Amino acid sequence: MTGFSDSQWLPNLEDSSSSSALFPDVVDQAEFPQTLGSSDSFFFFDSLLDNNIEDSSPTLPFGIKENSQNGKVPIPRTSTPTEWSDRCRVSQACKPCHGLKTKCSGHRPTCRRCEEMQLDCNYGDRKRERTARRIEDLNAHIDKLETTLRDLYPSLGTQSASQVDQALRRTPNHEVLQTFPDLAELHDEHGDRLVALDHADEDFNRDRKLQELGFMGEHSEVAWLYRLKSTLAQDVTTFPIPEEESSGLAITSMNYYSTDGDVEIRHDVGILERPDKSVADKLIHTYFQAIHPSFPLLGKTTFLAQYQVFYADPAVRPGRQWLAVLNLIFATAAVHLSGLQVEGDPGNYSHLDYFSRAWRLSIGKTSLQEDPNLQQVQIELTTRLTKNLGSRSWRFCGLAIRSALAMALNLRLDSQRVAPLSKEVRYRLWWTLYTLDTSLSAITGRPPGIGGTYSTTPLPIPFEEGNLNSSHVLKCIEDRTARKSLIKRLLRSKGDGGTTHQSMDRDGSRSTKRPLDETNPPIVAEAPPPPPSDSLCFFYTTSLSIIMREALDSIYAPCAAYKSWANIDTMISTLNKKADTWLDSLPRPYHFQTPSELGPLKRQRLKLAFQFYSTKIFITRPCLRRFMASLSKAPDDTDASSGSMRLICIEATCHLLDLLPDEPDLAWLHVHCARWSVLHHLMQAITVVLTDSFICTKMGTTSTRLVPPIFQKARAWLKEMSRVDLSAHNAWTLSSDLRHIIPWHII
């Protein structure tokens, strides 16, 4: 097929001559004015069409003239210039014009278009103003989130709290960085931590004394007194200390607890010997009256029945472990009765006889090598505790915790093979270990052995062991929802529990006066509030121990050394409120702040009162250290929160010592209190008094009017207790030495 090529049909466009020949009327693109390419070309064409162009030449497209010699197209001016031009650009359009995407003249207060169309003309904020307002809103939102984090901080775990600290430190806000300071603010001018300690400054394997003492954390009275004495020794211009005093500033010099070397095992006692029935009855009665209510380590009903059979039938031969438990109970009661001339005194049988017999029966040979008997280990722990052997008791507590964890006592028991009564006894056993662990951690300053995240054991039912078989109590034990509702009702009540339970029938047919949640089952309405008893007292002491454990983990743990004081102060305030809430939840018979002569409940009221004020001191005592550190930097550099918490700490100390009679009486102590706990409370009070006296001396003011009397009262009780307790004697000697360091006109 023949045809024509493209070159035959299309001219060579590169040839200008051919282009002009084919299209003589086309104007070269280069000759068009650049205005045609602009966005405003329509205005250009309108102006051309509206003008009368005097030219008779043929009209070109869009009214363009034929190319002249100079190659330019003339652009005539408008005949009548307007006052304003639509071509002008304004920096900001009004909202109506902006919404319709039309040109705005920018006139204020009303633009030309809105004026002609009678629209409401208004100009919004400029972009810079909108950005500034947006940033302000975001900053307010961030401040709200930070406030929420601070409110939630005390309830967070260690890892979550650390993440919150890091997030707040990374916030590029100068005010936030001041609120959450760097680690440098956690040190005083000598480099000591204010609350917690993340390092050890002693070699506790150096000599025998340090090995016996062991590490003492910052929240123990031993460490606090050591820090105070070191601070006083450094301020030699104000407090000249003799050379023999300054040379003994080791932490072992502040230890007042009996050392482990004081414990001896006698091998000349018969392991199968037993005391007379009268002596044994006295010891058993003392144990279950003075020790068991605070530490229900075993089932009272079952053990007493076995004890009666053991003494009634000489032919009965129980196992070695049961005999070891019995002798440990004898030893613990003998320690409690030591130094008292009362009817039924143990006589020639000292606590070492019973303890040595128990050790030879089971503890020393088998308990550390075979599967341990949990009750046996814990009763031995109680024996160590009553003898004020803090370090040894803490170690045995760790052994008991391991045994309890191996038996899954830290978990709720859902097995149908275990009777409800046995379940409740195990629950009480676990919470006894929990309270012991918390107390020993507070005494020694060492970490607790039980982690809260590994425990699901419910709180103990606040009914006496003899009433656990009643119908309404069994329902609370078996029904988890009913149990939880009862516990919440007890902890949230506002002190009216005593009045309510007195109006109840014994069979529990009447419901409580408190309105019940609709989600609660009818079983809750049928269960009456428990009357005052040792079990109810143990329930409230356990709930208060949980608050103290929270203070241990959030304020005194080594990781707290990396927290700012603002965070610690927030946690102290929160925990202090929790303690006050606990006080409000007590039933009316347990209101120890109101005078009462209830004889049977006096011991329970005193126990709750001692533990409450001790917990308040434990929570607020870091503010004394903070106050003292701030005074060493600048006299006026003390925040109001630390000052108020300092007063709360001193007030709690005064109330704690007011619980004791003005005249020391060991017989009164035997009936109403545990001697080992009173020693701990007395040293707590002395630590607070000496620290506050130092603060008053630095400020140049006199101490609180009640401080000197309570210090003398605490020392008087230590002196009386030193007659029967070596640890109390050491504490009294230590307080006498420290008393000479503080000026006599202060104390």
- Is residue 574 within 8 A of residue 525, CB to CB? The reply is no
Q: State the Cα–Cα distance between residues 677 and 660, nearest whole angstrom.
A: 13
Q: Would you give the distance in Å from CA 494 to the centre of its chain?
A: 24
Torsion of CA 527, 469, 301, 418, to 10 degrees: -110
Q: Which DSSP letter does residue 290 get?
A: I
Range with the lowest mean pLDDT among 291-305, 341-355, 729-743? 341-355
Residue 381, Cβ neighbours under 10 Å: how many? 30
Structure confidence at residue 11 (pLDDT) = 43
Range with the lowest mean pLDDT among 400-409, 544-553, 579-588? 400-409
- Is residue 429 within 8 A of residue 375, CB to CB? The reply is yes
Residue 305 corresponds to which amino acid? A
What phi, psi does 111 have (nearest 5°)?
-75, 170
**Comparing C-alpha atoms, which of 375, 483, 472 is closest to residue 429?**
375
**Comparing C-alpha atoms, which of 490, 499, 476, 462 is closest to residue 293?**
462
Tokens found for residue 693: 């006296």
Q: Which DSSP letter does residue 60 get?
A: P
Half-sphere exposure of 363 toward its Cβ, with a 13 Å CA cutoff? Answer: 25
Q: Classify 569 as helix, strand or coil.
A: helix
Highest mean pLDDT among 96-105, 455-464, 540-549: 540-549
Whether omega for the bond prior to residue 346 falls within 30 degrees of 0, making it cis, is: no
In a 10 Å sphere around its CB, with 0-12 CB exposed, 13-18 middle and 19+ buried, how is residue 254 labelled? buried
Q: Is the pLDDT of residue 99 over 90?
A: no
**Comparing C-alpha atoms, which of 239, 139, 231 is closest to residue 191?**
231
Structure confidence at residue 241 (pLDDT) = 47
Residue 50, Cβ neighbours under 10 Å: how many? 10
Half-sphere exposure of 34 toward its Cβ, with a 13 Å CA cutoff? Answer: 0
**What percentage of the chain has pLDDT greater than the value 90?**
14
**Comparing C-alpha atoms, which of 347, 343, 410 is closest to residue 374?**
410
Q: Classify 193 as helix, strand or coil.
A: strand
Tokens found for residue 467: 């009433």
**What percentage of the chain has pLDDT greater than the value 70?**
63
Tokens found for residue 325: 């438990």
Q: How confident is the model at residue 254 (pLDDT cuts 50, 70, 90)?
A: confident
Structure confidence at residue 597 (pLDDT) = 62
Mean pLDDT of the chain: 73
Residue 114, Cβ neighbours under 10 Å: how many? 20
Structure confidence at residue 20 (pLDDT) = 43
Q: How many residues does the chain have?
A: 747
Where helices occur in 527-674 by DSSP H, the ranges are 534-551, 565-584, 602-633, 640-658, 666-672
Mean pLDDT of 701-727: 80
SS3 letters across 326-390: HHHHHHHHHHHHCCCCCCCCCCCCCHHHHHHHHHHHHHHHHHCCCCCCHHHHHHHHHHHHHCCCH
* Torsional sign, CA 408, 409, 412, 418: positive
User: Is residue 128 within a helix (H) or strand (E), and if so which, with residue range?
Assistant: helix 127-152
The secondary structure of 77-115 as a DSSP string is: PPSS--SS-TT---S---HHHHHHT------SSS-HHHH
* Torsional sign, CA 472, 476, 481, 482: positive
Q: Is the pLDDT of residue 187 over 80?
A: no
Range with the lowest mean pLDDT among 139-148, 171-180, 716-725? 171-180
Q: How confident is the model at residue 617 (pLDDT cuts 50, 70, 90)?
A: very high
Residue 193 β-bridge partners? 187
Structure confidence at residue 578 (pLDDT) = 92
pLDDT tens for 51-84 read: 444 444 444 444 444 554 556 777 777 655 545 5
Residue 62, sorted as left (phi over 0), alpha (psi -120 to 50) or beta, turns out to be left
In a 10 Å sphere around its CB, with 0-12 CB exposed, 13-18 middle and 19+ buried, how is residue 725 labelled? buried
User: Is residue 397 within a helix (H) or strand (E), and if so which, with residue range?
Assistant: helix 390-406
Q: State the Cα–Cα distance between residues 29 and 71, nearest whole angstrom.
A: 11
Tokens found for residue 466: 């003899």
Q: State the Cα–Cα distance between residues 286 and 278, nearest whole angstrom.
A: 12
Task: Determine the angle formed by the axes of helices 127-152 and 565-584, rounding to 10 degrees.
Answer: 50
- Is residue 228 within 8 A of residue 690, CB to CB? The reply is yes
**Comparing C-alpha atoms, which of 722, 599, 709, 623 is closest to residue 658?**
709
- Is residue 215 within 8 A of residue 445, CB to CB? The reply is yes
Q: Which DSSP letter does residue 59 get?
A: P
Tokens found for residue 14: 């590169």
Q: State the Cα–Cα distance between residues 269 and 360, nearest whole angstrom.
A: 9
Q: How confident is the model at residue 369 (pLDDT cuts 50, 70, 90)?
A: low
Range with the lowest mean pLDDT among 159-173, 363-377, 726-740? 363-377
Select the more confidently predicted residue: 61 or 370: 370
Residue 633 β-bridge partners? none
Q: State the Cα–Cα distance between residues 684 and 678, nearest whole angstrom.
A: 10
pLDDT tens for 129-138 read: 888 888 988 9
**Comparing C-alpha atoms, which of 231, 337, 394 is closest to residue 738?**
231
Structure confidence at residue 435 (pLDDT) = 92
